[in-house]
Amino acid sequence: MKIKQHTIQKSVTISGVGLHTGVHANMTFLPAKPNHGIKFQRIDLEGEPIVDADVDNVVDLSRGTTIEQSGARINTVEHTLAALVGLEIDNILIQLDGPEPPIMDGSSAQFVEALESAGLEEQNALRNFFDVSEGIFYREPDRNVEIAALPLDDYRVTVMVDYNSPVLGSQHASLNNIGQFKEEISSCRTFCFLHELEMLYKNNLIRGGDLNNAIVVVDRKVEDHELDHLASLFNKPKVEVKKEGILNNVDLRYKNEPARHKLLDLMGDLALAGRPVKAQILAARPGHAANVAFAKKIKKAMQRSGAENIPHYDPKLPPVLDITKITSMLPHRYPFQLVDKIIHLDDKYVAGVKNVTINEPFFQGHFPGKPVMPGVLQIEAMAQTGGILVLNTVEDPSEYLTYFLSIDNCKFRQQVVPGDTILIKCELLHPIKRGIAKMKGVAYVGNSVVSEATLSAQIRKKNS
């Protein structure tokens, strides 16, 4: 799995009709900054409203997953989201001039192809994984649906489907390595049963279906007049049934293509939980309603695991800036170099790490019998972290210095002692103007705030 966040290098557009609305739309993928997440935008509506890919925005599950926000609706998002999950793309803006992404061939393959043609770009921020620490379970006993997420330091998905059909029977599909998504899962197409087609059509669905972008499973004997009726519905000169029970001479790409597509749908729907997940996902007879209900349980578990605004820190992962790079940017040296790592850096906020040990020189004179890190040095560490954020805005940071202008609303809420690891987050409150930056700094140990302040600083060239 990728460690750092990714976006795409340039914009790319694909076009086609939506499966259920039948409306032609252009869909453009655009690069986005770290921590932007996945967002859709309806550029055909007044104000061009944004719709976050968030499970709380799900409003309809009629044969697909539909999200809505600020009066803007996006239908059938799961295939697009699955492509993003499979390529491990974290930050992207998806502009649509219609209500639904193009169905293309009913899979995610053409989305993957378009995104890869745009190129992937690694970003200066670590991915905010949600590590499942204990099992999360969802059941629908009446439909025999079960989904579970079990602890695993990786991302794996296994799906079982059983439609009590002589054509499909029981099928299994697994994705054991996210890097195999493109080759093993992305090209698997959506499907339905023959007896569902007319019902779907009468309910104003599958208006963009043309029998070439879906697998239609025939699980009963079909009379010629029924095939003629279907041909008229979908503007086809003729509709045929192959001997294995697949409509209109469509060849399966895999014997278990329906199960693989259900796995694809599950990946796309679970993306709505909002963060990449490390877990073993096991699903029996999943569908969009169950997938979304399970995504809501995962999101609740994320919220319970800790405050969302605390920087995520995994000491096993490489930093965005190590001590060598920090030293090249900041003029501070021992004993006043108080930042060990930078784990996130973009144009709005920075997150740094300070490991507090008994070897700190200030412990010799600051309560040596009961060592406590001085609050003023916590603020100094905060200022140095914020300095990285400000210096990141200039072309050659080594030629600049940052100076304090003011410290406001400073509070010390908890003692910091040897053995603590301080996570420091500094976020710009306003855009930098005339070299002056104002930012909110908060320092955490675990899930507790230990100190906070509003800092103002000025950036100047060394020789000015």
Q: Which residues are catalytic?
A: 288, 366
* Contacts of 185 by beta carbon, 8 Å cutoff, 6+ apart: 82, 86, 108, 173, 175, 260, 263, 264, 267
Write the DSSP assignment of 86-125 as a string of letters: HHT---EEEEESSSS---TTSSSHHHHHHHHHH-EEEEEE
Q: Prior bond to 315 cis, omega within 30?
A: no
Instruction: Tell me if 147 sits within 8 A of 281, measured CB to CB.
Output: yes
H/E run at residue 375: helix 375-391
- Tally of CB atoms within 10 A around 35: 15
**Alpha-carbon span 124 to 445, nearest angstrom:** 23
d(CA 34, CA 346): 6
Q: Are 35 and 121 in contact (CB under 8 A)?
A: no
Closest residue by Cα to residue 270 from 130, 127, 94, 120: 130
DSSP per-residue codes, 181-226: HHHHTTTPPPEEEHHHHHHHHHTT--TT--SSSSEEE--S---HHH
50 token code pair: 């944004």
- In 3D space, the residue among 413, 328, 326, 405 whose CA is nearest the CA of residue 375 turns out to be 413
CA dihedral over 374, 376, 378, 384, signed as positive or negative: negative
State the virtual CA torsion across 115, 120, 123, 127 in degrees, nearest 10.
Answer: 70
Q: Count the Cβ atoms, other than its own, within 10 Å of residue 241.
A: 17
Task: Decide if 267 contacts 86 (C-beta within 8 A).
Answer: yes
Helices 194-202/224-233 angle, 10° precision: 40
Distances (CA, A) of 341 to 127, 287, 320, 323: 16, 43, 8, 6
As a whole number of angstroms, the distance between CA 300 and CA 268 comes to 18
Distance between CA atoms of 464 and 415, rounded to whole angstroms? 39
Give the C-alpha separation, 50 to 443, whole Å.
Answer: 32
Amino acid in position 415? Q
